[in-house]
Structure 1
Amino acid sequence: MSQPTALREKPAAAPTPTIGERIDKMPITPTHRRLTAVVGVGLLFDTFENNLAGTISKVLQEDFAFNGTTLKLVLASAFIGQFFGSVILGRVADRYGRRRAFLINLALYSGFSLLGAFSPNAAWLIVTRFFAGVGIGAEQSLSDCYLADVLPAKQRGRYTAWAYTLAFCGVPAVGFAALWLVPLSPLGIDGWRWLFVLGALGSAVVWVLRRNLIESPRWLAANGHEQQAHELVARMEAEVPTAEHPQPRLQAEAGQPAPTHVEAPAPTSVKAPAPAARLREVFRARYRRRTTMLWLFCTLSVVGYYGFGALAPQILAAKGYDVVTSIGFTAVSFVGYPIGALLSVPVMDRMERKRLVALSAAAMALSGLGFAYATSPTLIMALGIAYTLVSNIFSTASHVYLAEQYPTLIRAQATGLAYSLSKLSAAALPFALLPVLDTYGPGPMFGVIAAAMGTLVAVVLLLGPRTTGVAVDHD
């Protein structure tokens, strides 16, 4: 006897997709583009800050009559501050949210950079540079984690590369602004002081823009705020044309009719794990290999990256060029930074990330050695541009790769901890590389840099996992 139709077994309902699955299936929306742009503009002032002291180091040395030790402290102070900022604000981002950490870091940077403009002596400058560094220290790791949180997996590399293309416009900006302002004294104020004012005011504008950033839906879901997470994702899904919308497609595949409008799935209660236990995960067996790789990677990467950006005027002075000419050559070389980031856009999601990192690091070593031994102005500028170009393909790929290693619950803390090591390494650079430059010249100094980049290539290829197109909500 056949069962009545009403009593027939109903097909099982399709499982509700997680927040991460919904984000990863989503095409790029206007919200994604807006968030990428706001993050990119904030990063622009990070790159402006990181290259500021190095660009005007010779001017500061003359203005304050620095001795060698004081110059090293001025160059190192911001990076030491960034070490503390990366650790502290990474924890804030995982505990209290990405958006809140963004606002804290920019407020600190803007205030202390403005105070640095009024430095009456070297001690004041070193202290304000340190606290400005605390503020800006977490900017890149926070940005990397935030973009990894909100961007779909298949577009994550490409749109992060767009953010860094915008960001690295800050490097030639500080170079050409220094070339313009250093010989002048607008309103009777030394030109270099205006560079600090520009950084402070620009970051204050970005702070206002970032007040409108949404919180990371992945962070909200992972920390027990499911309702808010679903509402934010539903808003982004509503921006997608119906034919491309992931939710109707998932339901249609399950044999259910697609809704005519999008509603957030019913929230579930999730208890946030204790924050104190999270960071210990990086030392456990499942993450130990990638943690080892990242710590070595972050320590070595800045030797090549900041070894050029922070010391280029010193290198050119060692070749016999005066202050203004050195700044001019440096500014022209810095044009390669945004070009390199732009060139990384089309390849970022097509080539395995760790291979791209390794290839660009090897190219940095070769072009750096060429720059060190170049003698003609044309060759110096050409190789300088080549170095900064490949270094920003390297840098952009590195930022994407770094944020893909850990799950949402510990991403900002774990990434910030690894990234903080790069700041210690950067702070040590003037003490390690300037004596080599002063004693042996640019060639041996870039030999040290090339050796560091060669070691980095081996570490990434041997220990680094594949991440291109892989969901970030992994174990």
Structure 2
Amino acid sequence: MTLLTSDRRAAAPARPGPTGPRRATHYFDGLPVRAAHRRVFVLVMIAYFFDQLDNWNFGYIAPALRSSWGLGLERIATINSAYFVGMTVGGLLGGFCSDRFGRRRVFLHGMALFSTASVVNGLAGGFGLFVAARALTGVGLFAMMVCSHTYLAEISPGESRGRWQGRVAAVGYCAVPVIGIAANLIIPLGAQAWRALFILGGLGIIPLALAWRSLPESPRWLVSRGRVAEAEATVRALTGHDVDLSQAAARTGRPPGPLTSLRTIFSRANARPTAVLLVLFALETPASFIVRTWITTLLDAQGMSMRLALVATFCMQIGVPFGCWVSSRVSDLGGRKWPIVALLLAESALAVSFGHVRGHWALIVVGFLLTASGMAVGLISCTYATENYPTRLRNSADGAHNAVGRSMVAATQPLVPGLFASAGFTGVFTAIAVGLLPAAALVAAAGRRTGGRSLEEIS
């Protein structure tokens, strides 16, 4: 069955489908996931995989780059900050542009940008070009990632939305142990061997070529633009059911401009979910990324050999796909909010333990669980953010919240060297633990229950 692959292609008129007469429906809610539908999830999985090759490589590369170029911790913090400033820009642009121009188009262009910029990082001969390319990698990578959050939410059945997002992420985030294995094999080969890890990011051109031909536009976005026949044809192609989306179209407003979107996101009607999500992303995102990006460097700075630090980091980061699996099992429980609260509390407790534990194996086990809990809460939070807003605002809101999270990461990165110098390894992870507690308290007190409900019913 041929999918609609261009957001400009006209759809055939709706006609009786293979399962009988046309039926009014909330898009994919209540319909089984068939092979054509699964192929779309697989495409996003593959794109996620290459996205995460770039997202996780610098934690391994940083110690080798310090040695190769003679950089101090402050220069590493500058590179990390530039990357997260790029992600902040990518989150905002990706959110607003995908609400205006379509999920598919932004998804594909984001992949093209981060793949190209990663290759430039691998070839860079100076610090300035390296920082600029790293920032552009952040723009493209996060524009695609933010768009994928909303895209997955909009093409998944309401009753299994969290499960499908967890499955897609679990496969995509297998890139984390893969890049860990590659780093342990490649970095010891020579002073400049780290460049090859960036070149690997350029392989994102492979899923880009596949997705360009086979990825359909989100039916919900098509309906928001008045292209109801195309949306019905896309649902029919994926599910085998001939659906009537006229009622959904009557309830869906046209996407507003960026300034109107921002005003609406922060309006009185959306004040409660916006406040909860802003605090959640502003506190949890930097906590999680300090763990991801600084582990190897801090272990190396503490006196652990680079080889042992790389192996320890690799073992801990196997917790990433495990955390994705955990999210797929618990995300749809407790209306989405209670798994977030439980995982935030677990992440806080594990951060304290990680800062105090002694012994290599104990450090690895606690680090594995800390990484897994952070990954799980991050994924469920992304699903939660997309559910709290209507289609016309969904990706703009998701982009705005994620941009706030990444801007907080950029702001906190330069603080890590000073905190490490004054309070040591224990102080860094105690600060992470304390910062997570207000987020857990606010989600518990004011967060809405969204899991297992139609997106239209929620918003």
> What TM-score do you get using the length of structure 1 for normalisation?
0.87
Residue ranges of structure 2 left out of the alignment (5+ in a row): 1-21
Corresponding residue number in structure 1 for 2:207? 206
Note if contact 1:32-1:151 (Cα within 8 Å) is conserved in structure 2.
no
Does 2:196 align with 1:194? Answer: yes
SS in 2 for 1:138: helix
Corresponding residue number in structure 1 for 2:55? 50
SS in 2 for 1:191: coil
* 1:309 shift after superposition: 0.7
Corresponding residue number in structure 2 for 1:230? 232
Does 2:284 align with 1:301? Answer: yes
SS in 2 for 1:183: helix
Corresponding residue number in structure 1 for 2:78? 73
Match of 1:280 among 263, 270, 273: 263
Indicate the larger mover: 317-326 or 191-200.
317-326
Larger radius of gyration: 1
Match of 2:440 among 442, 452, 457: 457
Corresponding residue number in structure 2 for 1:161? 166
Match of 1:382 among 365, 387, 394: 365
- 1:280-324 Cα offsets, whole Å, 9 max, x none, are 211222211111111111111122211111110122124320112
Note if contact 1:102-1:210 (Cα within 8 Å) is conserved in structure 2.
no
- 1:448-467 Cα offsets, whole Å, 9 max, x none, are 10011111101211221111
Corresponding residue number in structure 2 for 1:121? 126
> What TM-score do you get using the length of structure 2 for normalisation?
0.90
What does 1:398-417 correspond to in 2, within 5 Å? 398-417=381-400
Structure 1: how far apart are the matches of 2:193 and 2:272?
A: 48
Does 2:324 align with 1:341? Answer: yes
Residue ranges of structure 1 left out of the alignment (5+ in a row): 1-15, 239-244, 246-261
Does 2:437 align with 1:436? Answer: no
Note if contact 2:121-2:134 (Cα within 8 Å) is conserved in structure 1.
yes
- CA pair 298-265 structure 1, distance change in 2 beyond 3 A: closer
SS in 1 for 2:375: helix
Corresponding residue number in structure 1 for 2:15? none
- CA pair 263-373 structure 1, distance change in 2 beyond 3 A: closer
Indicate the larger mover: 225-234 or 394-403.
394-403
Match of 2:428 among 427, 445, 457: 445
Corresponding residue number in structure 2 for 1:40? 45
Corresponding residue number in structure 2 for 1:183? 188
Structure 1: how far apart are the matches of 2:255 and 2:347?
A: 42
Corresponding residue number in structure 2 for 1:3? none
- CA pair 264-441 structure 1, distance change in 2 beyond 3 A: same
Structure 2: how far apart are the matches of 1:402 and 1:55?
A: 30
Corresponding residue number in structure 2 for 1:13? none
Corresponding residue number in structure 1 for 2:11? none
Note if contact 2:60-2:183 (Cα within 8 Å) is conserved in structure 1.
yes
Note if contact 1:54-1:313 (Cα within 8 Å) is conserved in structure 2.
yes
For 2:48, give the aligned amino acid: L
- CA pair 102-220 structure 1, distance change in 2 beyond 3 A: same
Indicate the larger mover: 67-76 or 372-381.
67-76
Q: RMSD value over aligned CA atoms?
A: 2.1
Note if contact 1:332-1:385 (Cα within 8 Å) is conserved in structure 2.
yes
- Corresponding pairs, count: 434
Note if contact 2:228-2:245 (Cα within 8 Å) is conserved in structure 1.
no
Structure 1: how far apart are the matches of 2:145 and 2:360?
A: 33
Match of 1:370 among 347, 353, 367: 353
